[in-house]
Structure 1
Amino acid sequence: MVFMISIEKVASKQDLKAFINFPSTLFVGDENWIDPLFVERVEHLSKKNPASDHVVWQAWLAKRGAEVVGRITAQIDSLHRELYGPNTGHFGMIDAIDDEEVFAALFKTAEEWLISQGAHQITGPFSLNINQESGLLVDGFDTPPSALMAHGKPWYGKHIENLGYSKAIDLIAYWMKRTDLHFEPGLTKLMDNVRKRVTIRPLNRKIFDQEMQILRNLFNLGWQDNWGFVPFTEHEFATMGQQLKYLVPDDMIYIAEIDGEPAAFIVGLPNINEAIDGLEGKLLPFGWAKVLWRLKVRGVRTARVPLMGVKKEYQFSRIGPIIALLLIEALREPFRRRNIDALEMSWILETNTGMRTILERIGAEPYKNYRLFEKKI
């Protein structure tokens, strides 16, 4: 018997469980797939997610008979609309089997909902906005994703393009082995000259809330002219701060100061995907103990820089890129102490040629490509 594709709104706890668990069934046999923690995904898709202050969303499941074969979200971000106009909307969390009918049904439903919300310009995928998981993996399927980055199937992009979506911009992830990090004599000379003006200091946990406010201001002011920028709210950054306080040692968050004023920052996040790998998304009965042991005792071997910002006034000066290099250099010693062997720098806009050139000059290589799509409806 051949079943038709049906699209069902996620409206109950059971629906939400099916929505969260679907990728784990889709990626069976993919050695690079890492099950997210179920409890974390539930919180992400709840009012506990601080983005819910400005993002409204709806999720759907695609079914063939009783079998789930796909999922998608559609969302409206009021902060995005304030910056880019009242007709914007987004899709996200797209996962589906290799079937054009499934993709067509999912996107048709998402687009109809977005139109009902006044949207006529769609971009995505975002989960749930640009400051959370962003982009569709289109290159780099042969390695596992780093913390808070997406995985995917090679057929996703093809089906999305067949539905009239085109590339908006690519987000590049760079990989760098700690032992490959090197600074050419010319760069070293520039860095030594800049050191005379710049102080690189670790986070001061005694004034943690004030430090988080510094980071938020640097990020929002430094990124405000970038593609798709949406500012972090105080609520979002405070919530993130509580996560960083638990997950990130003090000497893996650095602030650069010029004449005593904050000018840039960097955050090195231990790759929590290493710590949760093999738990199948479960913290009980013993998963939580394994996570703590892997993070705090055994340690992880990789890390990611999810946040970095340089004050706008320095970005297009000669000193700006050098400050970024000094911050990256500052992470080398704490990484060595913790036996962290490699680092992902992500994501970098493909148009950010200055930062990309610097990363490649010090030994980093682009290894994953995440695409954002757009469509007028």
Structure 2
Amino acid sequence: MSEGNVVIEPVEGKKGRAEFVDIGRAFAAREPHWVPQLRSEQLELVDPGKNPFFGHASHQLFIARRGRKAVGRISAHIDRLALELPREQGFGPGAGMFGYFDAADETIAHAMLDKAEEWLRSQGMDRAIGPISMSIWEEPGLLVKGQDHDPMIMMGHHPAIYREWIERAGYARSKTLLTYDLDVSIDFPPLVRRIVQSGKRNDRITVRPVDVKRWDDEVETILSILNDAWSKNWGFVPFTNAEIAYAGKKLKPIIHPDLNVIAEIDGRPMAFMLTFPDLNGVLRKVNGKLLPLGWFHILRWMRKPMGAGMRVPLMGVLKELHNSRLASQLAFMMISQIRDAATEKFGARRAEIGWILDDNQGMMAIADAIDSTVNREYAIFEKPLLS
């Protein structure tokens, strides 16, 4: 496809994927609060031979060029598991996606979106949803609030102008994802402390650290709760067995047991909360490079991430407890136990909770109750694809 003197080409092979990733890194580096990520990890995410997401997805990557210069990139992809969901949950039949969106100007942005839409339409899709890069569990949404501070681990960071370009291409916001900032050096309000103490007096309730010696089993427990707890949420796509194994392997190096807990009632796992030290701090220091000594600094930091910010990317309570006082109590107990460990053992002062869907009233109420405030917003847009 050619738009004026801009040519948009499909990406092929290992070399093409490497260029696709490097283009994204070059665009991201223009942003003052961008944090360089590990290139090897970014390559793995777009490699069908390594990322199990592609076991249930088809895709095409594109690069835009003006002359010999790369001036943009975009992905078009279809998650077959997402097609099986009800439309009222955001995806469903006909839902194609775009992601990895970067452009030098609005003309290029619209040309790339047109190309992604053309590919999705050729695959029988009737809607384009994005940006989602590339699984809903990786980096969903476009940053529309919060460009004035560094992102935390596994969160995207995008120029504010991208929102205008996407909207002027005919897209409307479909969903907003929120992250909440929390000062963990300050104790929780009295009401929350009373709820936590009440739970601690209940002999039926146990909140325990994950057991890293049984890590594979713990991952299965956590993700089975997640698949149940989130099953009715907007945008939910269940983890496959291959993705569960992959996630467990990738997450194990950054897991500190005291920061990741499972809540049980009468010995039955009912809820979980994961917390990751913010690796972005050390990635900035090593400029996202493992060589020559980046690997050494990262490994040393992971053993004892003192003073790091903490991110709570995932929590879940089994669906049978939803809308109950017990669900909130378990959440407060897990948050409180992790907060104590983060401050006492790692000297943490700040945490970020999210993302949280803007219609998840239960989680938003919990975030408000512990005096956290919204610090970042991510938007997911949608557009009908006319034949």
Map of 1:183 onto structure 2: 189
SS at match of 2:165: helix
Q: Is contact 2:8–2:64 with CA below 8 Å preserved after alignment?
A: yes
State how 1:195-206 maps to structure 2 within 5 Å. Answer: 195=200, 196=202, 197-206=204-213
Please tell me the residue identity of whatever aligns with 2:119: W
Q: What is the alpha-carbon distance in structure 1 between the residues aligned to residue 135 and residue 7 of structure 2?
A: 27
Map of 1:247 onto structure 2: 254
Where structure 1 has 5 or more consecutive residues not aligned to the other structure, the ranges are none
Map of 1:86 onto structure 2: 93
Q: What is the alpha-carbon distance in structure 1 between the residues aligned to residue 13 and residue 172 of structure 2?
A: 33
Q: What is the alpha-carbon distance in structure 2 between the residues aligned to residue 270 and residue 94 of structure 1?
A: 27
Please tell me the residue identity of whatever aligns with 1:371: A
SS at match of 1:30: coil
Where structure 2 has 5 or more consecutive residues not aligned to the other structure, the ranges are 87-91
SS at match of 2:153: coil
Q: What is the alpha-carbon distance in structure 2 between the residues aligned to residue 181 and residue 354 of structure 1?
A: 21
Q: What is the alpha-carbon distance in structure 1 between the residues aligned to residue 4 and residue 42 of structure 2?
A: 30
Q: 1:289 to 1:318 in 2, by over 3 A?
A: same
SS at match of 1:277: helix
Q: How far did residue 361 of structure 1 move?
A: 1.9
Please tell me the residue identity of whatever aligns with 1:194: G
Alignment size in residue pairs:
374
Q: What is the alpha-carbon distance in structure 2 between the residues aligned to residue 217 and residue 297 of structure 1?
A: 29
State how 1:220-239 maps to structure 2 within 5 Å. Answer: 220-239=227-246
Please tell me the residue identity of whatever aligns with 1:9: P
State how 1:335-350 maps to structure 2 within 5 Å. Answer: 335-336=342-343, 337-350=345-358
For the aligned residue pairs, the C-alpha RMSD in angstroms reads 1.7
- Alignment equivalent of 1:275, drawn from 270, 276, 282: 282
Please tell me the residue identity of whatever aligns with 1:48: K
Q: Say whether residues 1:142 and 2:144 are aligned partners.
A: no
Q: How far did residue 293 of structure 1 move?
A: 2.4
Map of 1:192 onto structure 2: 197
Q: What is the alpha-carbon distance in structure 2 between the residues aligned to residue 258 and residue 298 of structure 1?
A: 31
Q: Is contact 2:195–2:332 with CA below 8 Å preserved after alignment?
A: no
State how 1:203-214 maps to structure 2 within 5 Å. Answer: 203-214=210-221
Q: Say whether residues 1:39 and 2:45 are aligned partners.
A: no
- Alignment equivalent of 2:119, drawn from 89, 92, 113: 113
Q: What is the alpha-carbon distance in structure 2 between the residues aligned to residue 130 and residue 24 of structure 1?
A: 21
Please tell me the residue identity of whatever aligns with 1:23: G
Q: Is contact 1:270–1:300 with CA below 8 Å preserved after alignment?
A: no
Map of 1:13 onto structure 2: 14
Q: Say whether residues 1:290 and 2:297 are aligned partners.
A: yes
Q: Say whether residues 1:353 and 2:358 are aligned partners.
A: no
Q: What is the alpha-carbon distance in structure 2 between the residues aligned to residue 45 and residue 317 of structure 1?
A: 40
Q: What is the alpha-carbon distance in structure 2 between the residues aligned to residue 28 and residue 44 of structure 1?
A: 19
Q: What is the alpha-carbon distance in structure 1 between the residues aligned to residue 349 and residue 22 of structure 2?
A: 32
Q: Percent identity?
A: 36
Q: What is the alpha-carbon distance in structure 1 between the residues aligned to residue 143 and residue 186 of structure 2?
A: 25
Moved more, 70-79 or 272-281: 272-281
SS at match of 1:306: strand
Q: Say whether residues 1:159 and 2:165 are aligned partners.
A: yes
Q: Deviations over 1:144-183 (max 9, x none)?
A: 1111110000110101011111010100011112113413
Q: Is contact 2:185–2:348 with CA below 8 Å preserved after alignment?
A: no
Map of 2:266 onto structure 1: 259
Q: What is the alpha-carbon distance in structure 2 between the residues aligned to residue 187 and residue 300 of structure 1?
A: 25
Q: What is the alpha-carbon distance in structure 1 between the residues aligned to residue 20 and residue 287 of structure 2?
A: 15
SS at match of 1:209: helix
Q: TM-score, normalised by structure 2?
A: 0.92
Q: What is the alpha-carbon distance in structure 2 between the residues aligned to residue 357 and residue 192 of structure 1?
A: 19
Q: What is the alpha-carbon distance in structure 2 between the residues aligned to residue 135 and residue 369 of structure 1?
A: 9
Q: How far did residue 261 of structure 1 move?
A: 1.0
Map of 1:129 onto structure 2: 135
Q: How far did residue 17 of structure 1 move?
A: 2.2
Q: How far did residue 297 of structure 1 move?
A: 4.8
Moved more, 149-158 or 268-277: 268-277
Q: Deviations over 1:245-283 (max 9, x none)?
A: 211111111000112111100011111111211433321
